[in-house]
Amino acid sequence: MSALAGLEPLRIGVLGAARISAGAIVHPARETGTRLVAVAARDRARAEQFAAESGVERVLEGYQAVIDDPEVEAVDPTLPNGGHGPEHLAARATGKHVLTEKPFASNADEAMTVRFAASAAGVHCMEAFHYRYHPVMRRMLEVAGSGEIGEIALVEARMLMPPPAAGDPRWDPVLAGGGLMDVGCYAVHALRSIGELLGGDPAVTSAHGRELPSQPGVDAWIEADLTFASGAQGALVSSMTHGVLDFSLRIVGTHGEAYAPAFVLPHVDDRVIVTVGTSQRTEELGRRPSYVYQLEAFARLVRLGEPVPTDAADAVATMRLIDALYLAAGMSPRTALEADRA
């Protein structure tokens, strides 16, 4: 049962008809009673197919038409990375709330512009780091902060995946592509989240990586070492050219460790494995999709003003750390685009 009983259903407009939308917004909308009012995509036929399969009420001609629709109160831009910032700004200009795919923007400067625009417009925005709302991540933070595994010494976040096909927008430098932007940002955000227990965001100590040979300027992989204010160490590994999937998070303390084998895919693997000395236990936190928890949190933000951990201020801090990692690895932060309208 959804946690939104008694609240008026949200009315969301979808920008784009991306593959991720089925799990990220369509299923959660059905489970929570959220209305998907309108959709637009570059290819109208694709938008019409998406609407027919997903129960979206109507197809409109162009992203701006969705943003301008008087029934739409919030938008969900499921677009390539480079389109996030421009569409945020367009939505805020018309007073619409935004639940956006990560990353929030192409770089920290653009993220700051979006944050100021949201504040000036008096609207809510939330970055879709969905894992942060699932019991798996909440439990990892609880164990880390409880003292059970002792003083935290190391946090290791790994986001490794096999390569997308050639021509995939995630490889496009114009669209702010790259492994750190697409999957590595989860590792960045997880390190920042645990940093709340360790005196704040970590600082980059060193980083190295490799650009995709066929796409100069787009990172295939990046590895980095970081340091928290407490003295604890951080380790980040991001890759879109790995042989197998590895989306894991490990928190090592002086007495033991907490390990989530798939912290961003809890609907696939919901385990948190806690080891203290020679004792080990496995906690299973439930496979209800993290995107459902996230949509519930967004609805409570819009309807009740309940704060969320992935708000605009948090998004700016994440983008600053992403920019710092690119620079430390000898690469350039992504470049912001003008609005790329359908």
Q: Write the pLDDT tens digit of every residue in 244-275.
A: 999 999 999 999 999 999 999 999 999 999 99
Backbone angles phi, psi at 199, to 5 degrees: 95, 5
In 3-state terms, what secondary structure has residue 237?
Answer: strand
> How many other CB atoms are there within 10 angstroms of residue 267's CB atom?
16
Helix (H) or strand (E) holding 181: none
HSE-CB at 317 with a 13 A cutoff on CA atoms is 17
Within 62-203, residue ranges assigned H as helices are 63-68, 84-93, 108-121, 135-146, 179, 185-195
Helix (H) or strand (E) holding 242: none
> What is the predicted pLDDT for the residue at 262?
98
Strand partners, 221: 210, 239
Residues of the chain with pLDDT under 70: 1-2, 84, 88, 338-342
Edge-to-edge strand order for the sheet containing 74-77?
58-59, 35-40, 11-15, 74-77, 97-100, 125-127
Edge-to-edge strand order for the sheet containing 271-276?
203-212, 215-227, 233-239, 152-160, 246-253, 256-260, 271-276, 279-284
- The answer to whether the beta carbons of residues 67 and 13 sit under 8 Å apart is yes
Structural tokens at position 17? 């008809």
> What is the predicted pLDDT for the residue at 336?
84
Within the chain, residue ranges assigned H as helices are 21, 27-32, 44-54, 63-68, 84-93, 108-121, 135-146, 179, 185-195, 290-304, 312-328
Which residue segments constitute the domains of the chain, with CATH numbers given? 11-129 (3.40.50.720), 135-287 (3.30.360.10)
> What is the predicted pLDDT for the residue at 340?
46
Would you please indicate which residues are annotated as catalytic (active-site) residues? 102
Residue 308: closest CA among 36, 51, 99, 18? 99
> What is the predicted pLDDT for the residue at 342?
45
pLDDT in tens, 47-80: 999 999 999 999 999 999 999 999 999 999 887 7
